[in-house]
Amino acid sequence: MHSTAAALIELGALLFGLGVLGRLAGRIGVSPVPLYLLGGLAFGQGGLLPLEGIEGFTELASEVGVVLLLLLLGLEYSASDLVTGLRRSWLGGIVDMVLNAAPGAIAALILGWGPLGALAMAGVTWVSSSGIAAKLLEELGRLGNRETPAVLSVLVMEDLAMAVYLPVTTAALAGLSFAAGARTVGIALALLVVVLVIALRYGRFVSAIVESPSSEVFLLRVFGVALLVAGVASELQVSAGVGAFLLGIAISEDTAENATRVLSPLRDLFAAVFFVVFGLNTDPALIPGVLPAAIVLALVSTATKIGAGAFAASQIGVGTLGRLRAGAALVARGEFSIVIAGLALTSGAVAPGLAPLATTYVLIMAVLGPVCARLVEPTYRRVVARAT
């Protein structure tokens, strides 16, 4: 069969399969991320039926997926929201970082993966899935709850921290010298400050660059600018995703709403490909060997994330049940964890076991998170009823 025809058939089958998995996830009420990862494992190296001939498209599409994931995450926040969140929740953010980065770092050191492995795994266990958390708050009708601002503040702090963490990790994995690494971090910090200033004072001008009454023109402009900014950021040795995230923050609220509306289908498409590609690059034969470590890591980091969320909620005077709900809403890990593990995998600077451990861990946490969020309230009420 002609190579182009074969590639089109494989790509079509892949995308259709993703649609089936997404529908299944919706039916059973879980995030589609674990199913996308499982799909990638099934058709990647060592899988049931390895796909060949579409690597060029899937690799570029997965990069675009990261850009769109972080761009739309940035669009959810205005600069004023970020500044307010920093003022209110900086202590909760620090507690969250310490409690949840530690399990991953300790696990990597115990497994003998060294400082680079510890740095990567710290990020994998630290950052909650903003997408899953936001979806859970909406589905469970908790957007108006007293603890919800604490949940959102922790997510904002984590996302801001990623603007520094990702360049640091990228530089370390690339084996850059201290001076080069410091320059990369300095550029990232400078970009963050510049973007916040521009967003606070001149956000309307950034929005004017992409705004258009035509939805087609608007889509082309905002998508094109996002890729340009991501490419420039990557050239400056700052993560392309971080550049897209900062662009999202700089776009003013009205334009951000329109951008979210037109880009969401693209984000869903390319993000699905990103998760599948990560699974494609992970050998499923390695998973049984890391499964015990992934389960232990999941249990420990579930407890630490609930503790961090409860602490953040306590800072704004929320009661015991609200604190537990806040912690449970933050349990799921997803997109950022896979982005970080992907950086480690492509660098070749860490042990090959890190990717299967991260994949298995995210699979567990992306399912465990929604379960915890749904069960925490009835479980608490039953315990209180028995105690009284």
Give the Cα separation of 382 and 67 in Å (integer).
Answer: 44
- Of 312-321, 345-354, 369-378, which range is least confident? 345-354
Look at the block and give the residue holding tokens 């776009």. Answer: 251
**60: confidence class by pLDDT, cuts 50, 70, 90:** confident
Token pair belonging to 249: 């923050």
Amino acid at site 77:
Y
Where does 205-297 show beta strands of DSSP type E? none
Report DSSP letters for 76-120, one per residue. Answer: T--HHHHHHHHHHHHHHHHHHHHHHHHHHHHHHHHTT-HHHHHHH
Long-range contact list for 1-9, CB < 8 A, 24+ apart?
3/53, 6/53, 7/53, 7/54, 7/57
Q: If we measure between CA atoms, which residue out of 102, 101, 133, 170 comes closest to residue 342?
A: 170
For position 179, what pLDDT does the model report?
Answer: 67
Whether the per-residue pLDDT at 82 is higher than 70: the answer is no
Residues 272/22, Cβ–Cβ less than 8 Å:
yes
Give the mean model confidence (pLDDT) for residues 29-35: 73
Nearest to 268 by CA among 19, 59, 42: 19
Confidence (pLDDT) at 161 = 80
The residue whose two tokens read 């997926």 is 65
User: For residue 298, which amino acid is it?
Assistant: A
Residue-range domains of the chain with CATH: 3-387 (1.20.1530.20)
Mean pLDDT of 233-254: 73
Q: CB within 8 A of 202, min separation 6: which ones?
A: none
With beta carbons less than 8 A apart as the criterion, state whether 68 and 270 touch.
yes
Q: How distant, in Å, are the alpha carbons of 77, 170, 230, 259 from that of 262? A: 17, 30, 19, 5
Neighbours of 225 (CB within 10 A): 18
Of 185 and 256, which is predicted with more confidence? Answer: 256
Residue 318's region, left for phi above 0, alpha for psi from -120 to 50, else beta, is: beta
- For residue range 131-177, what is the model confidence (pLDDT) as tens digits? 678 767 767 778 678 888 888 778 877 877 877 787 778 777 776 66
Helix (H) or strand (E) holding 310: helix 287-314
Distance CA 99, CA 194 (A): 30
Dihedral angle over CA of 178, 183, 185, 189, nearest 10: 150
- How is 169-221 classified by DSSP, letter by letter? HHHHHTT--HHHHHHHHHHHHHHHHHHHHHHHHHHHHHHHHH--SSHHHHHHH
pLDDT of 52 higher than 90? no
What sign does the CA torsion over 73, 76, 79, 80 have? negative
Report, as an integer, the average pLDDT of 201-230: 82
HSE (CB half, 13 Å, CA atoms) of 71?
A: 32
Rounded Cα–Cα distance for residues 135 and 32 (Å): 12
State the Cα–Cα distance between residues 232 and 243, nearest whole angstrom. 8
Give the whole-angstrom CA distance, residue 180 versus residue 195. Answer: 22
Quote the CA–CA distance of 151 and 101 in Å, as a whole number. 18
What is the chain's mean pLDDT, rounded?
80
Residue 45's pLDDT is what? Answer: 63
> Which amino acid belongs to residue 56?
G
pLDDT band at 96 (very low <50, low <70, confident <90, very high): very high
CB atoms within 10 A of CB 98: 12
Chain-centroid distance, C-alpha 248: 15
Tokens read off for 29: 């009420």
